[in-house]
Amino acid sequence: MARPPSRRLGLAPLAWAAAMVMVCGAARADAGQPSPTANQRCGVTAAEGASKDAPPPGMVWIPGGRFAMGSNSAYPEEAPVHEVSVHGFWMSRCDVTNRQFGEFVAATGYHTVAERDGAGSVVFIQPRDGSAGAWRFVAGANWRQPEGPGSNLQGREEHPVVHITYEDASAYADWKGEQLPTEAQWEHAARGGLQGKAYAWGDALTPKGKVMANTWQGDFPFQNTAGDGYSGTSPVASFPANGFGLFDMAGNVWQWTKTWYTPHHSSARQNDPIGPTPAESLDPRQPGVQVRVIKGGSHLCAPTYCRRYRPSARQAQDPGLGTSHLGFRTVLNPVMPAQAAVNHRPG
């Protein structure tokens, strides 16, 4: 069982804070009205089944294929570009929402890591006076109370659930009979069939002026102009889907993968890579902590500071630590990927 985040904060607070700043932060979520079409767009009422002709509820078929994973022109941890092949799989069309996670909790009585013993979680606080926002551990903050005691989910039922640790996400996936994606699966899906493009929709952040994702506009971390309509999380499916029909594969909230993190990719050609072993996991900013890969960026990633709302972007995250900008989605593997002869290992 993962230790409560409050204990983990005492291990290396400076290293932890530096790592969290690099992950772009998480602003206080707006309590905006959920999209009236979120359920329809996410396909949550789709017919039961496990074939491409009858998709599982809320999932879309991601065709297998070969793609160039990573980037040689962005952050160092995204390199080198290397050839990867994945088999087809199902993926949730949208991030898991507060409503969906609430159904899981109601059915199982599950308590998240942040709720156990009233521990709390990590929230990015944006002052109203224009001073710099900062990370704070907030006692009592959890998925039900995203900003801490006194906050709630009213009007945010269709926003992505946050303050979710890897253990919490895995518990939900197990309940659904599904899995968390590998990094390779996630990146292949995020690219939406496009090869070598900077974003999930092409090479321009806002093609012809159109906003494609929930990200930070303004001077991070001082002012968010909310030019995209949101200063925090947004209802799922509020922005255009990618080529595979997936929503929010850029911005809004970071998403867990099951892959252990190392600060660079292997250069070897790989088939269905599962990633390094736990013993190989390494993040120089969090020494002594085994970390997983998170993908997708968040609603506070900004062009002038953190451009991690790109398919190749990746960050390290302590599996036992949830935040106010971290959620997840699930996959369903018709045939579980076999361990490749050459794994995604440091090299």
In this prediction, residue 31 carries a pLDDT of 37
In this prediction, residue 6 carries a pLDDT of 34
How do the domains of the chain map onto residue ranges?
1-28+71-342
d(CA 267, CA 83): 8
Share of the chain above pLDDT 90, in %: 71
Q: What is the pTM of this model?
A: 0.86
Sign of torsion, CA 124 127 132 138?
negative
Residue that the structure tokens 């990590």 belong to: 122
Contact, 41 vs 235, CB < 8 A? no
**Burial (0-12, 13-18, 19+ Cβ within 10 Å), 193:** middle
Question: What confidence tier does 40 reach under pLDDT thresholds 50, 70, 90?
Answer: confident
Pairing of the two strands 331-332 and 89-92: antiparallel
In this prediction, residue 52 carries a pLDDT of 56
Q: Which has the higher per-residue pLDDT, 255 or 340?
A: 255
Which pLDDT tens digit goes with each residue over 62-110?
Answer: 999 999 999 999 999 999 999 999 999 999 999 999 999 999 999 999 9
As a whole number, mean pLDDT of residues 143-163 equals: 97
Which pLDDT tens digit goes with each residue over 192-203?
Answer: 999 999 999 999
Q: Which has the higher per-residue pLDDT, 99 or 135?
A: 99
Question: What confidence tier does 128 reach under pLDDT thresholds 50, 70, 90?
Answer: confident
Q: In terms of CATH architecture, what is 1-28+71-342? A: Alpha-Beta Complex (3.90)
Least confident of 8-12, 34-38, 282-286: 8-12
**Percentage helix, strand, coil for the chain under 3-state DSSP, each rounded to 5:** 20, 15, 65
Average pLDDT, the chain: 86
Sign of torsion, CA 164 249 216 237?
negative
d(CA 36, CA 296): 24
Residue 233 has pLDDT above 90, yes or no: yes
- Structure-token pair, residue 201: 């929709």
Instruction: Tell me the three state secondary structure of residue 102.
Output: helix
Give residue 183's Cα distance to chain centre. 11
Q: Buried b / exposed e across 259-274, counting CB within 10 Å, b at 16+?
A: bbbbeebbebebbbbb
Which residue, among 242, 218, 222, has the nearest Cα to 230 in the 3D structure? 218
> Where is 41: in which H helix or E strand?
helix 38-42
